[in-house]
C-alpha cells in the first residue's frame, strides 16, 4: 500500500471545537475564527461567535441607564419591597401592639437619653395601631396607596438605589424634625411619603412637566396636616423638605462625575441629619418614669 500525499482528499484532519476537543466543529467564530461546536455557537449579527467573544463584546456595550443616571428599572422592586415591609410590620404590630410600638416608635426622649437610635428609622415603618381607634386603618392605607401610586414612577426615573436613598433619607428627615420639635411619640411612613411628594415636584420641574397638579397635591396634604388633630406636622414637613433637597441633588447633578456628585450629596445630607441629632437637644423633654401609652402616638 502507498500513503496519500498531504493535501489530497481524505488526508486533512477534521477540525474540533476549541472548548470541546472531542467534538467536530465545522463553524468558526466570526471574531476570533476558532472552530466552535453547536453548543458553543452564539448568534451574532453575522454568523456565530464563541462564548468568550460574546462576553468580551458585552463589556463594551453601554448599559441602559435611567434618566438621572441610575440603572434602568424594568420592575420597581424597591417600591414593592418597601410596601411589603410596611405591611408586614403592621401585621406584627397588630399582633403585639404594646410591645412593638413602645419599643420601635419614634420618640425624641428615648433617642436623646437612652440612645435608642434605631427609632429614627423603625418609627417610619410602623403605623397607628388598630386599637387606637379613630382613623387608624386609614393611616397605613393612605401611605401605602401613595407609595404604590408614585413610587414606581420615581424609581424608574431615579434608579432603584437612588430611589431607596431618597425614601430612607426622607424618613430620617421626618424623624429628625420630630426629634427637634415634638415631644409626642410618632409612627408612620408619612415623612418618607411626603419626601416622595417633594421629589415628584422636583423631578417634574427638571423634566419640564406641568407640576400644578403636584402643587395641589402637596398643598392639600399640608392643609390636612394642620387641620386634622393627631397628625405630626413635624414629621410631614421634615420629610417634605429633605425629599425635595435629596431629589434636587439627584436630578440637577452635572453629567460629568454625576454618580460621585449624587452619592456625595446624599452622604452630606445624611451627615447633617446625624449631626443635628447628636449635637442638638430635643425641643421638649419627656418624663421617663415609664413607657408612654401607645394610644397617644401620632402619625
Catalytic machinery residues: 190, 236
CA distance 161 to 296: 35
Cβ burial 73-111 (10 Å sphere, 16+ → b, else e): beebebbeebbeebeebbeebeeebeebbbebbbbbbbb
CA distance 54 to 42: 7
Neighbours of 212 (CB within 10 A): 9
DSSP of 234-264, one letter per residue? HHHHHHHHHHHHHHHHHHHS-STTHHHHHHH
Contacts of 222-228 spanning 24+ positions with Cβ under 8 A: 228/135
Angle of helix 233-252 versus helix 160-181 axis, rounded to 10: 140
Neighbours of 252 (CB within 10 A): 15
The DSSP symbol for 14 reads: P
User: Which run of H or E residues covers position 28?
Assistant: strand 27-28
- C-alpha cell recorded at residue 18: 476549541
Residue with cell 470541546: 20
Q: Which of 172, 174, 169, 178 is nearest to 107 (CA)?
A: 178
Q: Which of 170, 184, 164 is nearest to 237 (CA)?
A: 170
CA distance 50 to 35: 9
Amino acid at each position: 500500500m502507498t500513503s496519500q500525499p498531504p493535501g489530497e482528499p481524505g488526508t486533512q484532519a477534521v477540525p474540533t471545537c476549541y472548548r470541546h476537543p472531542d467534538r467536530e466543529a465545522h463553524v468558526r467564530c466570526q471574531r476570533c475564527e476558532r472552530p466552535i461546536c453547536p453548543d458553543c455557537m452564539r448568534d451574532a449579527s453575522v454568523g456565530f461567535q464563541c462564548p468568550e467573544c460574546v462576553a468580551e463584546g458585552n463589556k463594551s456595550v453601554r448599559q441602559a441607564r435611567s434618566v438621572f443616571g441610575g440603572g434602568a428599572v424594568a420592575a420597581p422592586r424597591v417600591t414593592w419591597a418597601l410596601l411589603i415591609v410596611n405591611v408586614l410590620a403592621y401585621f406584627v404590630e397588630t399582633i403585639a401592639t404594646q410591645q412593638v410600638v413602645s419599643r420601635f416608635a419614634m420618640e425624641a426622649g428615648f433617642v436623646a437619653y437612652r440612645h435608642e437610635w434605631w427609632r429614627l428609622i423603625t418609627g417610619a415603618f410602623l403605623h397607628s395601631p388598630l386599637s387606637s381607634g379613630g382613623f387608624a386603618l386609614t393611616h397605613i392605607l393612605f401611605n401605602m396607596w401613595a407609595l404604590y401610586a408614585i413610587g414606581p414612577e420615581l424609581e424608574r426615573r431615579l434608579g432603584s438605589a437612588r430611589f431607596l436613598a431618597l425614601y430612607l433619607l426622607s424618613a430620617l428627615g421626618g424623624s429628625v424634625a420630630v426629634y427637634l420639635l415634638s415631644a409626642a411619640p410618632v409612627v408612620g411612613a408619612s415623612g418618607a411619603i411626603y419626601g416622595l411628594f417633594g421629589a415628584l415636584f422636583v423631578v417634574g420641574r427638571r423634566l419640564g412637566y406641568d407640576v400644578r397638579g403636584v402643587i395641589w397635591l402637596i398643598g392639600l396634604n399640608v392643609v390636612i396636616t394642620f387641620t386634622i388633630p393627631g397628625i405630626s406636622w413635624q414629621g410631614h414637613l421634615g420629610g417634605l423638605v429633605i425629599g425635595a433637597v435629596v431629589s434636587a441633588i439627584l436630578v440637577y447633578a452635572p453629567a460629568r462625575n454625576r454618580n460621585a456628585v449624587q452619592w456625595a450629596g446624599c452622604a452630606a445630607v445624611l451627615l447633617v441629619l446625624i449631626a443635628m441629632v447628636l449635637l442638638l437637644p430635643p425641643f421638649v423633654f419627656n418624663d421617663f418614669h415609664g413607657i408612654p401609652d401607645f394610644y397617644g402616638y401620632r402619625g
